[in-house]
Each structure stands twice: as structure tokens, then as C-alpha cells.
Amino acid sequence: MTTLVEQDPELIRQVREVLGADVTVVESLDRLGEHLATHPHEYAVVVGQSVDAGAAGAFAEASRIQQPALGVIMLRSFVDTEVLANALRSGMRDVIAVDDLTGLSSAVARSRTLSHAMSGTADRAVEAADGLLFTIFSTKGGVGKSLVATNVAAALADQGRRVCIVDLDVQCGDVAIMLQLNPLHTLADLTQLSGQIDPGGVESLLSLHSENLSVLAAPVQLETHVQPEQVSSVLETLKTMFDVVVVDTSGAFDDHALAALDHSDLLVLVGTLDIPALKSLKLAAGTLDLLNYPRERWRLVLNRADSKVGLSAKEFEETLGVTAAISIPSSRDVLAAVNRGETIVRSSAGHQISKTLTGFAGGLYADAAPASAEVTSGGSRRGNRRKLRAKKVS
């Protein structure tokens, strides 16, 4: 259930129009405390304009410790950087402008999903292991890396998994535009969390794309700096919140990609049948070997693999030393779906490419369970980035 703290009858009416008539309304934070004492399973509190922002922040900060599964969402007439930063620091999951109440429904839905997961009322055991993380990688642009990432994420979500896709291309990320999203928050807002990276803080940065599918979008400003340590903490936290985390990387062995590899259960390499793509993946394979990332955890996707370009899939596989898990033929339908901001696995579920990608996504999930257990027993790979830096220096 959702509780609204507000005294203005008109705002109460508007919120109930958006969230439904069963919203519980209390007039003050004192009354809210009494209500929560008798209703411990509430998952969202919407703090209206009649509540002082400082008092609302203090309540959110206390709830973060005493009732971490409770999501606090604040309504304000004006949302600027200072208001948003103070809210995120206090532990609120979102701040919504009163003239944009359509966004309130999505914020409450996200809070419900997270709260259920944290309280153990989701459809899995309370003591279930962390979710799985798949990193989609290529050191050459234009091979369809983001296409694979978005479609794998959508396919897994449609198979009933709770999925988050993370765009770690902090300079030129395309995930949001490929999913037709205009995110209110991105990775750039990590700085607003003041080092408090926990499920509540991370959830406040997510954009809900559709049922079971959330997005942590790349920054929209080129000069944005996202610290690798923050990225590592975010990925680790997301694995506790979702069944699957799909990471789309920048195409370089930067610190963000290395952070993703640290937490990856499987690595998906994407290439096309051309010499530059083969060369880049061959070099990437050498680096991955240096990082001690086992080849049995690699999955190769050959995109536009039916092109008559003088390089066969077999020659590509033999040179790289990896057998392709799937080959995706060229199709104008794929590009048309991208231009519409849709995933082909949803817009054309009966398409052969959709069936291929859907089967591949399901296979990744099935394959990852033993790989995940091996990583847990074998320890962390975080020392591997030191090997890479040493190699660069030498």
C-alpha cells in the first residue's frame, strides 16, 4: 500500500487520480508514524508539499535505517539540483514535481518492486543468492553491441526475470535512446548520493522502461566524470536488487569496463564479419586472457553474419579461437526497430532474429548459475585490473 502525507484537498484528489482511491492519507508525519506502527508492510510513502522539506528529509533518513524497505517519495512545486541532492542524501527514492504527477505512478511502482525484493516478498526465497551479471563487450564500435544488450535485457524481462540494464558508456551511451527513454536521473547523479550507495539510493537513479525492465542510463553531458569505485559499488548493489543485470560497455578496457568484468558471470563478445572487427576482438581476447577471465565464460555473437564479404564465420571463429554462440543475419527489420526506439524481440516476436536472441538470452541465464557459483568459490577478480595496468606500463 501507499500512504500520502498531505493536507491540501486538491493535491490529495490529484494523487488519488494517479495512484487510485485506495491511497491512505494522513495529515502529518506524526500521524504517519502511528499509521506505520500498525501497518508495517507499507512499501511507499508520498510526502506532499504541506510537509516541511527538512522534516521530510529527517523522516527519510531515519526510515533508511529503521525501515529500509519503505520507499519515501517527495512532491514539490519546484525540483532543482539542490532539492534533488538533499533528497537523495537523506535516502528518498525520488522527488516528483507536482505538475508532473504522471511520473509519480512510475516512482511508486519502482518503490514497490524494490521494497518487495528487500523484504523478501518477491517470488523467490528470502535467502536467494545475488542476481547474475552479463557484460556485453566489443572494442570496435558499430558492431551491434548495444543492440544485443537491449534485446537480451528485454527478452529476459519477458521471460519473467527482474532485469536492469546499465549503460557504462559514460561518454556516448545509446541505451536510453534505443529504448525511447528520457531518464530523469543517470549515472552522473551518483555524486549526489554522497558515498551512500545502497538499494534505496541506487533505485532513485533508475528509469522504469516496462514491466520487469529498469535502466540505469549513461550521463547526457560529455564532461561528466563517474568514478570507477562508485560503478563497482552500484553493480554490486544492483545484483542484490535484480535477477539479472545486463551491462553495456564503452568499447574500451577502461576502469568502468573493468569494474563490470569484476562482477560478471558471463561475458558476451560482439563482432561482425570484417577484418577490423576481428582484429579488435583478437586483441581484446589477449587482454581478457591477461585478466584471467576464463574462456568458458565467453559467449561470441556474430552480427550481420550473412554478409558476403570474403570472411566466413568459420574463419572468424578459428582466428579468434572462440565458437560463436549465435549468428545474427542482416535485416532491415532490426534497424527499423532501432529507429523506432524498440527492441525487435518485442516489436516482432515471431521474427527469426527475435527467436534467436530470445533463445540466446535464456541460454545465458541457464549457463550462468554454475559460473556464478564458481566465481563465488574462487574469489574476486578485482586484482586483475592491476595486471592490466602493469601490462600497459611495461
Cα 210 to Cα 338: distance, rounded to the nearest angstrom: 17
Same domain flag for 235 and 106: no
Answer whether residue 307 is part of any domain. Answer: yes
Asked whether 138 and 284 are in contact (CB, 8 A), the reply is yes
Q: Which residues of the chain have pLDDT under 50?
A: 121-128, 375-380, 382-383, 393-394
Answer whether residue 126 is part of any domain. Answer: no
Pairing of strands 213-216, 266-272: unpaired
Bridge partners of 137?
269
Q: For 185-196, what is each residue's pLDDT tens digit?
A: 899 888 777 556
How many domains is the chain partitioned into structurally? 2
Q: How many CA atoms lie within 13 A of 373 on its CB side?
A: 5
Domain that holds residue 43: 2-119
**Residue listed under C-alpha cell 558476451:** 268
Same domain flag for 159 and 213: yes
Same domain flag for 239 and 370: yes
Answer whether residue 124 is part of any domain. Answer: no
pLDDT at site 121: 42
User: CA 144, 145, 147, 151 torsion: positive or negative?
Assistant: positive
Model's pTM, two decimal places?
0.68
User: CA 347, 352, 354, 355 torsion: positive or negative?
Assistant: positive
The DSSP letter of residue 186 is: -
From 197, 200, 207, 181, select the one nearest 231 (Cα to Cα).
Answer: 197
pLDDT at site 226: 78
pLDDT at site 106: 78
How deeply is 73 buried, as exposed, middle or buried, from its count of CB atoms within 10 A (0-12, 13-18, 19+)? buried
Same domain flag for 138 and 113: no
Query: The domain spanning residue 36 has which CATH number?
Result: 3.40.50.2300
From 46, 53, 50, select the one nearest 82 (Cα to Cα).
Answer: 53
Answer whether residue 101 is part of any domain. Answer: yes
Instruction: Provide the terminal-to-terminal Cα distance of the chain, rounded to the nearest Å.
Output: 59
Answer whether residue 364 is part of any domain. Answer: yes
Same domain flag for 110 and 170: no
Q: For 272-294, what is each residue's pLDDT tens digit?
A: 998 899 999 999 999 898 888 89
CB neighbour list of residue 259: distance below 8 Å, 6 or more residues apart: 168, 228, 231, 232, 235
Task: Please say which residue of 119, 148, 173 terminates a domain.
Answer: 119
SS3 assignment, position 185:
coil
Cα–Cα separations (whole angstroms), residue 153 to 137, 183, 228, 236, 393: 14, 17, 23, 18, 37
The total of other beta-carbon atoms located within 10 Å of residue 180's CB is: 10
Same domain flag for 51 and 144: no
Same domain flag for 292 and 352: yes
pLDDT at site 129: 61
Same domain flag for 154 and 288: yes
Answer whether residue 350 is part of any domain. Answer: yes
Same domain flag for 303 and 355: yes
φ/ψ of 241, rounded to 5, equals -100, -25
Query: The domain spanning residue 193 has which CATH number?
Result: 3.40.50.300
Answer whether residue 125 is part of any domain. Answer: no
DSSP assignments along 253-272, one per residue: --HHHHHHHHH-SEEEEEEE
Task: Please say which residue of 53, 85, 119 terminates a domain.
Answer: 119
Same domain flag for 115 and 138: no
pLDDT at site 133: 96
Task: Please say which residue of 119, 145, 180 terminates a domain.
Answer: 119
Answer whether residue 375 is part of any domain. Answer: yes
pLDDT at site 146: 95
Same domain flag for 161 and 242: yes
What letter represents residue 8's amino acid? D
Same domain flag for 213 and 96: no
